[in-house]
Structure 1
C-alpha cells in the first residue's frame, strides 16, 4: 500500500479541536490545504499556525471567520501570551451549509490565503516562519482533509525507503483542459497528487498520462459520472486497447470533492482516492519512463496538482 512520507500524508476527518505537527517546520514555498464544510449552525472557527503543539504556544498566523450580524474574518498573531493588532475583512468567503477548500500559501512576505480558488488576504509575517511547526483547528467547522504541501521530514531518507518522489511546485486552480509536463519524466515511485471537485451536472472527465512525442496515452483514467463508472485504458499506436471498469469504490460523484494520488510502480500504476485504494492499472506501455505529460480535460474543477 502507498503510504506518503511525513509532510505529504493527509489527515482525514480529524476530531475538532485538532492539533498536529508540521514535520520539519514551515518555510517559504510550502502550502497548507484544508477542505471542510461550514455547518448551518456556526458561530466561529479558527486555524492557527503555531510554534509548538502545546496550549499557550506562540501563534505565527491566526485565522478566524466569525459569523454574526457583522460577518468578518480576523487575522492576528500571538507572542508570549499577547495578541497583536487584528487585521479583518468583511468579505466573508464561507457560506453556511456549504463545502469549502482553503489554501494557505507561505511566501517571503507572509501567509497568502485563498478560499474556493479566490484570493482572500495576505497576512505579513510577524514571527519567523521557521519557528512554526504545528497546526491547530478549533470551533464549529467540520474538517474533511488537512494536508501540508511541500513539507517532509528533512531526515526522511533515513527513516524509511520506498517513499514517493515529489519534486515539483504545486499548481493551484489550473484551467481545464490543462496539460502539465512531468518534471524529469515518469519514474518508479513518482507520485502525482490531484485534488478537485466534480461539478453538478458533470458528465465525464479524464486524466491522461501521455508520451508527448507520439501522443500515446499510457494510462487513461476516465470517470463517467452519470454512468457511475470509472474506465481505464491505454491508447497506443493510434488505437484504444481493452477497457477496465472494475473498482472497489466510486468517489467521483456530482458535487463531491476528491483527493487523488497516482503512483507509478515497476509493474503498475496504483490509484488512491480520499485515502482509500481504488484500483491498479498494469503497465501496457513498457517504456513508462517515456511518459512526460499529464493531460486534464472534461467536466472537472481542479484545486491543485503536485508532483
Structure 2
C-alpha cells in the first residue's frame, strides 16, 4: 500500500471508554488509524469518529458505526453544520461477537480505505477535508485494546508524538530515550517474512511487530540475523503448545543457553499482540502490548551488524515497522 509512512504516535493500550486520541495537525494522506479490540457478546453497536474538534457538536469527517441491533450492518456518515449527511451502509458484518478484531483506516488523498482483519471492508470518500480532523474518539459496546495513529510524527522524519497524558511510564522519559523509527511500515506482509534493516541496528532503534495467533498454532519465531552468515543475535520463539517464550542466540554454529522466565505470556491463540523490540547499547528491551516483557543482554556485541529481520511459523502479521 502506497500510503503508509513511519509511525508518529505512541499506541494507547486498554483505555476506558469513551476514549479520545488527539491528532495534532490533522490527518494527511499517508497516515493510518490502527484499532484493536474485542466485540463482547452483549454488543449492540460501537463507533469510531474522526472529529474536527474535541467539543460536543463538532463536525465529524467520518462516523464508522457497526450495528448489531439494526440488521448486522455498518453505517458510515459525516456530520457537518449540526446535521448528519446521507448514510452509507456496509452489509455483511465483518465483526463477530466474542471475537477479537483489527481495524485499519488508511488516509489517501481521495478517501479513507477501511480494512477489517486484513481484508478490504469499505472505501469512504472525503466529505470534509481530512486535515480538519483533530480527534479520533471511540465509544460503545466494545473492549478497546489499542489505538495507534500511524504517520505524521510531530518530530519530523517519522518521529514520535507523545500526548501529555499518554503511555503510562512514558511521561518522564528524556527525549534521548524515545524510540527511533525511520522506515515505512509494511501492512499484512506474508509469512515467512524477511526484510533488510537499512544501516543495521543502532542504539535506540526499535522494531514493532503486530500480529495475531491463529487457532491451532504451535510455534513461531522472530530472528535478528547478521548479514549473510547464519548467526542469529536474538531468537524470540513463542511456543504455544508449551506456553513459553524462548529467547536465545545462534552464534558460530551453536545455540546458546535458552532464557525462558517470564512474568506474563502475551501470546494466546485467537488474540492479537504487539511487540516493541528496542536495541540498546547493552541489551534488547522487549515490550508486549505496552508492558515490559523481557530484557536480553547482547551476546553478539557488534549489534550494528544485525541487518536482517526474519519471521516465520504459525503467525499472521498485521504490520512490521522499524
**Cross-structure match for 1:300:** 315
Unaligned runs of 5+ in 1: 1-5
Deviations 1:244-297 (A, max 9, x none): 112222111222221110001111110000111111111111211111111001
Partner Cα distance (2:143, 2:247) in 1: 33
Contact 1:209/1:295 (<8 A) preserved: yes
Deviations 1:12-59 (A, max 9, x none): 222222222123432111111111111222221110111121111111
Contact 1:23/1:152 (<8 A) preserved: no
Corresponding position: 1:95 with 2:96: yes
**Cross-structure match for 1:215:** 230
**Cross-structure match for 1:64:** 65
**Cross-structure match for 1:76:** 77
Partner Cα distance (2:110, 2:19) in 1: 27
Relative distance call for 1:114 and 1:54 in structure 2 (3 A) is same
**Cross-structure match for 2:206:** 191
**Cross-structure match for 1:135:** 136
Partner Cα distance (1:119, 1:257) in 2: 18
Deviation at 1:157, TM superposition (A): 8.6
TM-score, with length taken from structure 1: 0.92
**Cross-structure match for 2:27:** 26
Deviation at 1:130, TM superposition (A): 1.5
Relative distance call for 1:292 and 1:14 in structure 2 (3 A) is same
Relative distance call for 1:17 and 1:24 in structure 2 (3 A) is same
**Cross-structure match for 2:118:** 117
Corresponding position: 1:275 with 2:290: yes
Partner Cα distance (1:257, 1:136) in 2: 21
Contact 2:47/2:65 (<8 A) preserved: yes
Unaligned runs of 5+ in 2: 1-6, 162-173
CA RMSD in angstroms comes to: 1.9
**Cross-structure match for 1:260:** 275
Runs of 4+ that moved beyond 4 A = 155-159
Which of 186, 191, 195 matches 1:180?
195
Contact 1:197/1:302 (<8 A) preserved: yes
Contact 1:260/1:273 (<8 A) preserved: yes
Corresponding position: 1:289 with 2:304: yes
Partner Cα distance (2:25, 2:282) in 1: 33
Partner Cα distance (1:49, 1:234) in 2: 45
Partner Cα distance (2:237, 2:149) in 1: 28
Secondary structure in 1 matching 2:304: helix
Partner Cα distance (1:300, 1:233) in 2: 19
**Cross-structure match for 1:3:** none
Contact 1:22/1:135 (<8 A) preserved: yes
Deviation at 1:151, TM superposition (A): 3.7
